[in-house]
Structure 1
Amino acid sequence: MIVAGLYAGLFLVAFGAATILPLQSEAAVVGMVLADHDAGLVVLVAGAGNTLGAATNWLLGRGVERFRHRRWFPVGPGALRRAEGWYRRYGRWSLLLSWLPLGGDALTIVAGVLREPLAVFLLLVAIGKIGRYVVVVGLALGLA
């Protein structure tokens, strides 16, 4: 029961970290792996949460005209313009970089603005975000 709660907490932290909430999921991932939780399961749970959090940004992008001027909107106009330029230049493949701390959230919003199909969005974002967690876990285990 406690272990299930830890994984649920990890999912929620990873989900929140991909949205407007000021959370970092890497510390939770490292902590769980160093506490001898299954590294593969930690990566999958965090990756799923972070990918679904990014899907929330995609949804915000779909409604950008309604939301862009709200105080809570996660990306400023300048960052949104830069991300849109990057997205138009590199296309959907830029979603592989959605894990980046600066600009990653903006890319996921722009994907919604530009009507990237949800299935393609989820696949590319999941690859990038799960790949990041694989590297984080590898580094944590290498240093342990």
Structure 2
Amino acid sequence: MAYFSLFITGFIAATLFPASSELLLLALLQQGYQPFLLWLVATTGNTLGSCVNWWLGKQLRRFQHKRWFPISEPQLVRAERLFLRYGRWSLLLSWLPVIGDPLTMIAGVLKVPFPIFLLLVALGKALRYGILILLAISFF
């Protein structure tokens, strides 16, 4: 059940909903759960949550002229310009708070090919969780 909770928390944390999977991961690590499985589950859940953002981004343009649409045209253009300025490699930073989730959505808006998106996002998130676990193990 603990691994499933970590997966769900990681998944939700990668979407536009506010959540944090790091605290649960650290608590489970301290309780003696297997570091490799924690890393794998957290990385998988968080990466799949970002895939939802990518898919939503691909659908976003269909709704941009609706009155209820939450992002103005200038905001969308600015986000696209920033993404294009730093390129696909910026997806390695998709784990960062505040900018990571919108970054994965803009990748969908700009139709970054899914295999490239998945590789870069998974790599960034895997490194983040791996470093977090290694640091935690060295302090416990």
TM-score by length of 2: 0.88
Distance 1:29 1:128 in 2: 17
Q: Structure 1's 42 and 79: CA in aligned 2 closer, same or farther, altered over 3 A?
A: farther
* Aligned match of 2:51: 55
* Aligned match of 1:96: 92
Q: 2:101 aligns with which of 105, 111, 125?
A: 105
Deviations 1:13-38 (A, max 9, x none): 00000012211000011111111111
Further displaced range: 77-86 or 121-130:
77-86
Identity of aligned residues (%): 46
1:46 and 2:4 correspond: no
* TM-superposed deviation, 1:80: 4.7
Q: CA RMSD in A?
A: 2.1
* TM-superposed deviation, 1:83: 3.6
Three-state SS of the structure 1 residue aligned to 2:20 is coil
Distance 1:33 1:72 in 2: 41
* TM-superposed deviation, 1:91: 1.2
Distance 2:54 2:102 in 1: 9
Q: Structure 1's 25 and 67: CA in aligned 2 closer, same or farther, altered over 3 A?
A: farther
TM-score by length of 1: 0.86
Contact 1:60 1:67 in 2 (8 A): no
Distance 2:5 2:49 in 1: 14
Give unpaired runs (5+ residues) of structure 1: none
Distance 1:12 1:72 in 2: 27
How many correspondences in the alignment? 138
Q: Structure 1's 19 and 70: CA in aligned 2 closer, same or farther, altered over 3 A?
A: farther
* Structure 1 moving runs of 4+ over 3 Å: 66-73, 76-83
* TM-superposed deviation, 1:81: 4.5
Distance 2:130 2:3 in 1: 17
Alignment of 1:1-144 (within 5 A): 5-67=1-63, 76-77=71-72, 80-144=76-140
Give unpaired runs (5+ residues) of structure 2: none
